[in-house]
Amino acid sequence: MSDVKKVVLAYSGGLDTSVIVKWLQETYNCEVVTFTADIGQGEEVEPARAKAQALGVKEIYIEDLREEFVRDYVFPMFRANTIYEGEYLLGTSIARPLIAKRLIEIANETGADAISHGATGKGNDQVRFELGGYALKPGVKVIAPWREWDLTSREKLMAYCEERNIPVDFSNKKKKSPYSMDANLLHISYEGGILEDPWAEAEEDMWRWSVSPEAAPEQPTYVELTFEKGDIVAIDGEAHKPHEVLEKLNKLGGDNGIGRLDIVENRYVGMKSRGCYETPGGTIMLRAHRAIESLTLDREEAHLKDQLMPKYAEVIYNGYWWSPERRMLQAAIDETQKNVCGVVRMKLYKGNAIVVGRKSEQSLFDESIATFEDDAGAYNQKDAEGFIKLNALRLRIAAGKGRQQS
């Protein structure tokens, strides 16, 4: 007999997790608690309640986590200007620690023995969910059906549903979705289908959030973003909550063909994966944040922060949000943001997010020194001679020893 009496499942209401509910009930003879998170995926989550009830689930959690997601996860990540492998804005990665946290909290509230998820044994998400679970509840049992069962294809999943009268839209059972997609307020991702060939161009009708740059308006859109301590708090002078900021920027960016990405990335489990992403609001946020930092951060502070960023990105991508190293890096990053305040003006045009202006009361830009005109003695150009000679000293000594540079 299984020692698992109750398990909390991250439940979307789709085919895979609906099968998992019944599979858990049969395999472990346990009670299943479902947890469905609204993190801005753009789909109605309430229908998951009726689907769970039809499967005999008695404890059903459906929660709007959009505000917490952007405020406590997306914004802190963007303070670091985080990009994985030079391009990816980590839209899927950053959602997993929040879901893991709520799985554990609900497990504690309901007295559950285990948590479960629908991530496959090939991907990063299994690592992210489980690292978060173990970090927050060391003794928790994790059940990952894709690593246990023999339901290895969509056809087998559909047959399982038919045999057990699991409520699924069977009218579409002959139509295989061409892509595996994941969406939240920060992005939508696409994998599988023709994308498994890295040479094949993504089909235009795949993209859901953005028009193509070619189809974007002929006239640019201007927008002004107000920052306080590294976070956007207002758009065109109007205050918004964090999730409202991202919603509005997603619309502005998508309408102007901004935020499409096609990459091959290195998964933590070892394989390479080709994916396409739409991150319109995040793309604008990143450009604007770097612009306000360029005005307000000290040079060495900014350069050191840029050196820390790749490690911070790797930590998040690999699922270590709840690790001591992430907290350490976050503390250093947040310390740099105290004076990152001001306004950035962006020009959105045919796939481009262009910075055209920035201003701040905390600006370190001194026009009287930087000017090409007469600076009235603000900067003594003769000082540069000694500066250069001192910095060249080691080079001059080495050259004097005949150490020629090849």
pLDDT value at residue 169: 62
Q: Write down all domains in the chain, each with its CATH number in brackets.
A: 6-65+93-172 (3.40.50.620), 180-297+339-359 (3.90.1260.10)
- 396: annotated active-site residue: no
pLDDT value at residue 171: 47
Q: In 3D, which of 194, 310, 211, 199 has the Cα closest to residue 260?
A: 211
Token readout for 155 is 């056809």
pLDDT value at residue 154: 80
- On whether the CB atoms of residues 275 and 195 are closer than 8 A, the answer is yes
- 368: annotated active-site residue: no
Instruction: Say if pTM beats, i.e. exceeds, 0.75.
Output: yes
| First and final C-alpha spacing in the chain | 73
- 169: annotated active-site residue: no
Q: How far apart are alpha carbons 329 and 43 in whole angstroms?
A: 34
- 125: annotated active-site residue: yes
pLDDT value at residue 374: 86
Token readout for 156 is 């087998």
> Which residue of the set 66, 79, 93, 96 is catalytic?
96
Three-state SS for 309-369 is HHHHHHHHHCCCCCCHHHHHHHHHHHHHCCCCCEEEEEEEECCEEEEEEEECCCCCCCHHH
> Which residue of the set 71, 180, 255, 267 is catalytic?
180
Q: Output the CA torsion 335→339→341→346 (10° steps).
A: -80
Q: How far is CA 251 from CA 185, 289, 348, in A?
A: 11, 19, 12
pLDDT value at residue 314: 98
Share of the chain above pLDDT 70, in %: 97
Q: In 3D, which of 388, 198, 359, 392 has the Cα closest to residue 276?
A: 198
Q: What is the pLDDT along the chain (406 residues), one digit of tens a residue?
A: 578 999 999 999 888 999 999 999 999 999 999 999 999 998 889 999 999 999 999 999 999 999 999 999 999 999 999 999 999 999 999 999 999 999 999 999 999 999 999 999 999 999 999 999 999 999 999 999 999 999 988 889 999 999 998 877 644 555 555 788 999 999 999 999 999 999 999 999 999 999 999 999 999 999 999 999 999 999 999 999 999 999 999 999 999 999 999 999 999 999 999 999 999 999 999 999 999 999 999 999 999 999 999 999 999 999 999 999 999 999 999 999 999 999 999 999 999 999 999 999 999 999 888 888 888 888 889 999 999 999 999 999 999 998 877 6
